[in-house]
Amino acid sequence: MRKLTLFIVSDSVGETADLVAKAAASQFRQDLETVSMKRFSHVEDESQLREIAYLAKQQQAIIIYTLVKSCMRKKIKEECQLNGLKCVDLLGPIVNEIGNALEEKPFEEPGLVRQLDEDYFKKIEAIEFAVKYDDGRDPRGVLKADIVLVGVSRTSKTPLSQYLAHRRFKVANVPLVPEVDPPEELYEIDPQKCFGLVISPNVLNSIRKERLIALGLKDDANYAQIERIKQELDHFQKVVSKIGCKVIDVSNRAVEETANLILAEVTNRHL
């Protein structure tokens, strides 16, 4: 049975070319035992290409490459022609077509797709974190979070957590209720990563009434009474004073505005 050697050449990790080569080879050999693949990753200069071409000639290999720099693609094609080698450019034709369609020049920077993937997975991880540690479900999340939000009910803690999660921050939020002691973890964290969300009694009264009506309940429940709201806000002030965290008034702010204030604060602290 005839054997085949494929050289996978990339200026990054080489996963893309490796997967495509395996997919193509699987159409001929299901076990792939007779098709050997050798990956050459992070190829950055032309001298490496000459060495790879020399080895490929010795082993009668086909070179399959994903090189983002046009000069490197040109060089490996030249080396293959000089050595009588067959080669397949997986990336160049696609990059050229996209560049022509957009009327733009490519960055020609290796590894950008991996950066995009890593950024995507960080966002997904942050979103899952926000769901898991929403509404004080598990106080252990307070210690793991990048940002911790505290406030009374209906101060937009959950939507704010999700908004910040889409910016790749792991956020835990904790509701404050007079009858329930706050988790001890709130007093163990760095106060700078905690933000208290305060709101005016009248605005909160209106929000809670609307919430009750939406649930099909009467709007005169204790939950929406001004006295009850003031009691909760007094409790909130005691807790955030003990934590020593920054307090943001969300009374007349959209979630995006509050999030931008928090992000500005976090960014400035890391400068």
pLDDT at 177: 96
Question: Whose structure tokens read 């009850």?
Answer: 228
Class of domain 4-110: alpha beta
- Binding site, annotated residues for ADP: 151-158
pLDDT at 129: 96
C-alpha torsion 169→124→197→190, nearest 10: -40
The percentage of residues in the chain with a pLDDT greater than 90, rounded to a whole number, is: 80
pLDDT at 93: 95
- Binding site, annotated residues: 151-158
Question: Whose structure tokens read 């000639």?
Answer: 57
Same fold, 4-110 and 114-269: yes
pLDDT at 267: 85
Q: Assess whether pLDDT exceeds 70 at residue 199.
A: yes
pLDDT at 65: 96
Phi, psi (deg, nearest 5) at residue 18: -60, -45
Q: Domain ranges in the chain? A: 4-110, 114-269
Q: Answer whether 0.85 is exceeded by the pTM.
A: no
For residues 76-90, average pLDDT: 96
pLDDT at 80: 97
Q: What is the pLDDT of residues 205-240, one digit of tens each?
A: 999 999 999 999 988 899 999 999 999 999 999 999
pLDDT at 120: 83
C-alpha torsion 183→148→156→247, nearest 10: 100
The CATH number of 114-269 is 3.40.50
pLDDT at 116: 72
